[in-house]
Amino acid sequence: MMEKSREKEHVRTAVANKITVDIGYKSLNKKGEELCGDKVEVLHTGASHILILADGMGSGVKANILATMTSKILGTMFLRGIRLEQCVETIAETLPICRVRQVAYATFSILQVSDDGSAYLVEFDNPGCIFIRNGRQMEIPKNYREISGRKINENHFMVQKGDAFVLMSDGAINAGVGDLLNFGWTWESVAEYALREYARTSTAMHLASEISQACNDLYQYRPGDDTTVAVMRIGERHLVNLMTGPASRKEDDVRMIREFMEDETAIRIVSGGTSAAIAARVLGKEIDVSVAYTDGDVPPISFIDGIDLVTEGVVTLNRVLGLLEQYTRDDEIDENFFLELEKENGASMIAKILIESCTDLHLYVGQAVNEAYQNPELPFELGIRQKLVDKLEDVMKRLGKTVVVRYY
């Protein structure tokens, strides 16, 4: 019988041995508005990553349209390699100027980071980018020039692993104005807070969420302006190997385990009781089941020497998928979500690893049919391991991870 194998790959982060880019953002709508007047656009070329934050004039539907058009125009033109001058000129010709106040249709910030570490920052009337390196706030020199009558700050520099960049709309520095604070949350205060939170967070989304939550607190949960925080963190590659399901042929067990264990730098996860038994047998190790049963909805974890995490299979993976899907929706991310990731159950532990410690995911999937999960009375997600794997592959790609799937 021919071996069934498949490899799928989706590259959003940088190539091996180069930097990786993690991007997350969080928006607050002005009180009483259904739409946010800020818009974030995240784009990826073959060799670079682009983060655009546009802030539309005013609030509500009009501001949302202006910010969306601005971010889309900038994103499309940047992807095509069109010069900044042309991008700004196109926006100026396409979108209107306020007749009453004679101010710009939208302000914007653009941060482009290439896989070789070169970066390009463009700012027009948004609060300045906060740059963190080696646990310190770094100053980005001002380099203004006039384009189409607009004063644009433009910089070229090199990034390093560990760097973080915070872009924000002016709603962030206005938080608390007239209520808790006389003059709002100043840029310096936001930068100081971002630096502190950077030290205790490990993802761009977590840092963006913490800063956004602080803004919301200062607004007393009634934002006086649309408020958006977008973060880009520069890191290094981290491989996670996840094995689930027994091979369709028992004679393939040794090959499956050998390939799963091959990279010594990888974090290794085995999900499934049968898979754990195969791994223990091939490796000549014992399985120890945890006596801690912290969540009645998630089966307990186990321990095998040489494997970082051993969990139950489809029930746990289904819960993992729920957490990962939630993580893709910025409006559902808050401190409670990150507290959920800290729980010591198999699902939270896998989700935390995949979110915070994974840039590349290699899935080792056995195709043997497990009769226990073919009961038609069980939920559909429990019945077919393949569907769980497909969903996991899809959501990880949407989170910007490189995914490779191998079937046995």
pLDDT tens, residue by residue, 37-54: 999 999 988 789 999 999
Answer yes or no: is pLDDT of 358 > 90.
yes
Domains and CATH numbers, the chain: 20-235 (3.60.40.10), 239-407 (3.40.50)
| pLDDT tens digits, 205-257 | 999 999 999 999 999 999 999 999 999 999 988 999 999 999 989 999 999 99
**C-alpha–C-alpha distance, residues 283 and 256, integer Å:** 12
Nearest Cα residue to 168 out of 151, 193, 145, 141: 193
**C-alpha–C-alpha distance, residues 405 and 398, integer Å:** 16
**C-alpha–C-alpha distance, residues 320 and 309, integer Å:** 14
For the beta carbon of residue 404, count every other beta carbon within 10 angstroms: 17
| pLDDT tens digits, 88-108 | 888 877 776 655 555 557 899
Written as six digits, the tokens of 49 are: 């990553």
Provide the pLDDT confidence category of residue 375 given band limits of 50, 70 and 90: low
Answer yes or no: is pLDDT of 142 > 80.
yes
Are 343 and 294 in contact, with CB atoms under 8 Å apart? yes
Provide the pLDDT confidence category of residue 12 given band limits of 50, 70 and 90: very low
The mean pLDDT of 164-189, rounded to a whole number, is 84
Q: What is the C-alpha radius of gyration for the chain, rounded to an integer number of angstroms?
A: 24
The mean pLDDT of 324-344, rounded to a whole number, is 91
**C-alpha–C-alpha distance, residues 312 and 352, integer Å:** 16
For the entire predicted model, the pTM comes to 0.85
